[in-house]
Structure 1
Amino acid sequence: METPLIVTDFLEQARTYYGDEEAVIGVDGDRFTYDELGERVDRFSAALQERGIEKGDRVAVLDPNTHYHLEAAYGAMQIGAVFTPLNYRLTPDDYEYILSDAGVDAIYADYEHAEKVEAIRDDVPTETFITNDADVVDGEWEDFETVLEDAGTAFDQPEMDEDEIITINYTSGTTGDPKGVCRTHRTETIHSYLMTIYHEITDDDVYLWTLPMFHVNGWGHIYAVTGMGATHVCTRGVNADDVVDSITSEDVSILCAAPAVLNQLIDYYEAHDEPEMSGDNQVRVTTAGSAPPEATIRAVEDEFDWYLKHLYGATETGPLITISDAKRLIDDENRFEIKKRQGMGVLGTDVRVVDEDGDDVPHDDQTLGEVVVRGNQVMDHYWNKPEETEEAFNDRLEGYYHMGDLATVDENGMIALRDRKKDIIISGGENISSIELEDTLFDHDAVADVAVIPAPSDEWGETPKAFVVPANGDPNDPPVSADELTAFSREQLASYKVVRRIEYVKELPKTATGKTQKYELRQQEWEDEDRMIGEG
């Protein structure tokens, strides 16, 4: 028998079997059962339909990890609208591009972030604006609670097909404008199944939202945690004091954390005389992308007494395509070596590392190739970008999504990232375009030439570093200070993209045709590191 895979089934499953159980612990102390959460979702669905939102319309959600995000997401998807989560760290110009590109019809925005949407309101097609505290937001915004109170619970749920687009997740624009990653009911459902399996999520789990919900739908946790009937513990960003307090007071059992967050927690642990780092539940933590240094993994597992898993993927791939949690291959001697690798392909996923001819590289852990992947959790296409979609799936090997990362493969088939095919910087789990940063710095009159590369960072894994040729040609006496250039970039960019490391040079290494040889700069910057991708 074949039945369609529809994402709203996750909430329906929880309402059916866990209606009286605690679903959500809000940042303000509010607690909702799955029945109560479901009613609020129904009311938001009805309210959207009253405002003319139909199946296929785009509904954006700009919110930190609060219960409003869950309610708005499921409320939109229940009526077949396309849930479009937004990175709350972006600038008004970024939102203008995304809201216009996606043709967003309605937006819910948290009160702390609504002003950035208000600033470009007249330049986007969006007509419905809702926030969770209209009294503190300038402009004509409807209040979320009032909207729910005025709406009933009845709405018309359309027929939905598993191959229809239900979410658009925008990338961070590492090679120009952000790209809208289109995900279907089927891809979202299957990647959530994989999350449930490899994160070992069960109905008695208590999940702490340290990972942004906008981040490829929180790696699938808005679905997996809900569908299993587990408990969501919401946050308003990551603060080490609050994270530890939530873990101990709410008996958190699972969370996700970028290496930067793990380092924050280690600093907290050392500064507070080794406090308790768990409640009544054993804690599991997942990190992703560039592996944390061995010292970080050791502290998390040996000092915190947590169990760490390391996974790898991208917005386009669900994200989960590999994981290093191979218990039968791990012993005390190789534990950290294996946990630092991106690992082996997960169920139903064909992960390969291929050379420029599309042939698999030998499993010698030495030969570099590009990571490519094929699987049911991989995106359908980029929104309104057919050429980019074609290239992404057919560059070296036809029919595989090309990750843009270079890796080696060991004798067990486990991959390890070694370098990046394109000049992207992954800082604290966020993708940053070196091209965007270079263009920004070039706008300063005192900059004659510039190249930006990822530099190693104990806190963020990687951080942008700019090599600047000053306009007067004298790196020892440039016409603008490094601090002034940092301040200049802060005025133009989202906070996490700001260039804080600047080195003045007389010239940049160039090819015969005048192209900057960033590889030389990366080699220079990472010569004391094991790898050139912030793995330490």
Structure 2
Amino acid sequence: MEKPLLVTDFLDRARRNYGDHEAVLAVDGTRYTYDELGERADGFAAALQERGVGKGDRVAVLDPNTHYHLEAAYGSHEIGAVHTPLNYRLVESDFEYILNDAGVTAIYADAEYADRIEAIRDTVPTETFITNDADAVEGDWESFDGAIADAGEHERPEMSEDDVVTINYTSGTTGDPKGVCRTHRTETVHAYLISIHQEIRDDDTYLWTLPMFHVNGWGHLYAITGMGARHVCTRGVDAAAVFDRLRNEDVSYFCAAPTVLKMLGDHHDEHGGPVDGGQDVRVATAGAAPPEATIRTVEDEFGWYLKHVYGATETGPLITTSDARRYFDDDSDDRFGVKKTQGFGYLGTEIRVVDENGQDVPEDGQTIGEIVVRGNQVMDGYWEKPEATEEAFNDRISGYYHMGDLAAVNENGMLVIQDRKKDIIISGGENISSLELEDTLFSNDAVGDVAVIPAPSEEWGETPKAFVVPANGDVSSPGTSEADLIDYCRERLASFKVPSQVEFVKQLPKTATGKIQKFELRQQEWEGEERMVGEG
């Protein structure tokens, strides 16, 4: 028997089985049951339909982890529209590009960020503008609560599991951002997988420290809801607030980049006190390995259980886990060697590390190749970018998504990331394009040549550093300063993309053909580190 896999099933199941149970603790302290969450999503769906939004139309959501994001996402799904979450840390030009590229018809924007959309509304195709506090926003914006209160009934259209249901934009690591198209099927299968590997249960309380916009909160928009667990919302990450929720709301599971875990450790070192209310706590972190000191803090000092996972926007994101408990004892230092790997592939996920000829590297922990993956949680392709899609699935080997990360495979068959193929910097969990930073700096008349690489950062794992050849050729008197160039970037880019360091150099290392050898610069910056990759 075959039943279509649809993301609407997750809220349907929660309403059917947990309707009068708490679904969401809002930022303002309001508590909503699954019946109430469903009614509000229905209202948003009806409001959209009444404004001409239909199946296949893109509906953007710009929101910092509030209950409105959940309601807008599920309301969009109810009418077959395509949920298009936006990174609230971007700047106006980024939003302008994405709204035009996706052809966004309607947008919900939190009042704190709506002014960035208002500034570009005349240059985008968007027609419907909704916010949580219309009185606080300049321009013609509708109230979310008013719209759902006045809405009638909506009609759910026929949907296929192969319909695109979300578009998640990458951070533009190689040029303009690309829209990752995910279908009902890919989202559903991914939610099933994290429900298993992250051990999600109906009595879990999930704390939203991970941005909901980030690959739909790593699929937790769906998995937590479908299992009937509780969502505890936040506006960003505040260490004191995280500990308060852990102590008073029975939080049992959350996700956090290594930099957030370090933030919690530093806060506790300074302020002390209980870290939770005595419940068992699981925490997932992703990407490169967190430092051993961070793992010790989380597990030995706080008493939580750490799961290290790995993936990319294009893959759902999660495709591997180091939660392989038959390979270590919980009280033994053996666990660090396992938890600092990227581990094994998720169920139904085929992970390989291949050389430039597409051949698997030996499991010797030394030979490096590129990670490639096949799985039902992997994207179908990039929005209206067939050439980029073709390249992503057919570079070294046909039919696999190419992750762009270079890794070795140890004797147990676990992945261990060594370096990155693309010029991407991951700082505090955010992807930063070195090319975008270089282009910005090049536009400054005082810059003659520039290369941007990741440099080690204790706080963020890695941070952008720019090597600048002055246009006048004089390193001692370059015609500008480090502070001036940093301010120049800050005026033109999202704050997290701004370089934290600028070093003036007489020349950049180059090949005979003039290509900058960033590898030499990275070697210089990462000398003495365990591997040439950050912890973010």
Same fold (TM over 0.5): yes
1:55-74 equivalences under 5 Å are 55-74=55-74
* 1:8-47 pair list within 5 angstroms: 8-47=8-47
> What residue number does 1:318 align with?
316
After TM superposition, list the pairs within 5 Å mapping 1:72-471 onto structure 2. 72-152=72-152, 154-272=153-271, 274-331=272-329, 332-471=332-471
Deviations 1:340-395 (A, max 9, x none): 11111110000000000000000000000000000000001100000000000000
What are the ranges of 5 or more consecutive residues in structure 1 without an aligned counterpart?
none
Structure 2 residue runs without a partner (length 5+): none
SS in 2 for 1:479: coil
Q: Is the 2:408–2:418 Cα contact (8 Å) retained in structure 1?
A: yes
**Matched AA of 1:307:** Y
SS for the counterpart of 2:73 is helix
| Aligned counterparts of 1:47 and 1:333: Cα–Cα separation in 2 | 55
- Runs of 4+ deviating beyond 6 Å: none
Q: Are the equivalent residues in 2 in contact too, given 1:393–1:402 (CA < 8 A)?
A: yes
After TM superposition, give the deviation of residue 478 of structure 1 in Å.
Answer: 2.3
Q: Is the 8 A contact 1:455 1:465 kept in 2?
A: yes
Partner of 2:478: 478
Q: Deviations over 1:248-291 (max 9, x none)?
A: 1111100000011111111101111x321112421110000111
- Contact 1:10 / 1:227 at 8 angstroms: preserved in 2? yes
Write out per-residue CA displacement over residues 66-96 of structure 1, whole angstroms, 9 at most, x where no aligned residue: 0000000000001100010111011111111
Give 1:19's aligned amino acid: G
Contact 1:259/1:459 (8 A) holds in 2: no
The DSSP-based 3-state class of the residue aligned with 1:403 is strand
Distance in 2, matches of 1:13 and 1:535, equals 38
Aligned residues: 534
Counterpart in 1 of 2:522?
Answer: 522
- Letter in structure 2 aligned against 1:14: A
Given that 2:218 and 2:316 are in contact with CA atoms closer than 8 Å, whether structure 1 keeps it comes out as: yes
- State the Cα distance separating 1:475 from its structure 2 match: 2.1
**Structure 2 CA distance, aligned partners of 1:504 and 1:243?**
41
Task: For 1:375 and 1:25, locate their aligned partners in 2 and report how far apart those are by CA, in whole Å.
Answer: 34
User: What SS does the aligned partner of 1:393 have?
Assistant: helix
Measure the CA separation in 1 of the matches of 2:532 and 2:53: 47
The answer on whether the counterparts of 2:111 and 2:131 sit within 8 Å (CA) in structure 1 is yes
Q: Distance in 2 between matches of 1:314 and 1:447?
A: 33
In structure 2, how many angstroms separate the alpha carbons of the residues matched to 1:444 and 1:305? Answer: 50
Q: How many angstroms apart in 2 are the aligned matches of 1:77 and 1:207?
A: 22
> 2: CA distance between counterparts of 1:63 and 1:324?
31
Q: Quick one: distance in 1 between partners of 2:399 and 2:74?
A: 32
Q: CA RMSD in A?
A: 0.9
Amino acid at match of 2:166: T
Q: Distance in 1 between matches of 2:101 and 2:535?
A: 35
TM-score with structure 2 length normalisation? 0.99
CA distance in structure 1 between the aligned counterparts of 2:232 and 2:110, rounded to whole angstroms = 17
- Cα distance in 2 for partners of 1:442, 1:303 equals 47
Q: What is the one-letter code of the residue matched to 1:198?
A: H
Please say which of residues 361-370 and 445-454 is displaced more in the overlay: 445-454
CA deviations over 1:440-472 (Å, ceiling 9, x no partner): 111111111110001111111111001111223
Q: Deviations over 1:46-80 (max 9, x none)?
A: 11110011111110000010000000000000110
3-state SS of 2:439 partner: helix
SS of 1:197's partner is helix
Q: Structure 1 residues 164, 498: closer, same or farther in 2, change over 3 A?
A: same
Task: Provide the C-alpha distance between the structure 1 equivalents of 2:197 and 2:469, rounded to a whole number of angstroms.
Answer: 48
Alpha-carbon distance in 2 for matches of 1:175, 1:308: 32
In structure 2, distance between residues paired with 1:524 and 1:499? 17
Structure 1 CA distance, aligned partners of 2:113 and 2:290? Answer: 30
- Counterparts of 2:234 and 2:181, CA distance in 1: 27
Letter in 1 for 2:292: E
C-alpha distance in structure 1 between counterparts of 2:384 and 2:6, whole Å: 23
| 3-state SS in 1 of match to 2:325 | coil
Letter in structure 2 aligned against 1:215: H
Whether contact under 8 Å (2:60, 2:83) holds in the other structure is yes
Secondary structure class of the residue paired with 1:492: coil
2:494 matched to which residue of 1?
Answer: 494
1:376 alignment partner, SS class: coil
Distance in structure 2 (CA, Å) of the matches to 1:381 and 1:535: 28
Aligned partners of 1:452 and 1:465 also within 8 Å: yes
Q: CA deviation at 1:492?
A: 0.6
Distance 2:470 2:261 in 1: 37
CA contact (8 A) 2:460 2:535 kept: no
| C-alpha displacement of 1:292 | 1.1
Give the partner amino acid of 2:308. Answer: H
Tell me the CA shift for residue 494 of structure 1. 0.3
Q: Secondary structure at the match of 1:531?
A: coil
Seq. identity, %: 72
Give, as a single letter, the amino acid of the residue that structure 1 aligns with 2:174.
T
| Residue 535 (structure 1) shift | 3.9
Structure 2 match to 1:531:
531
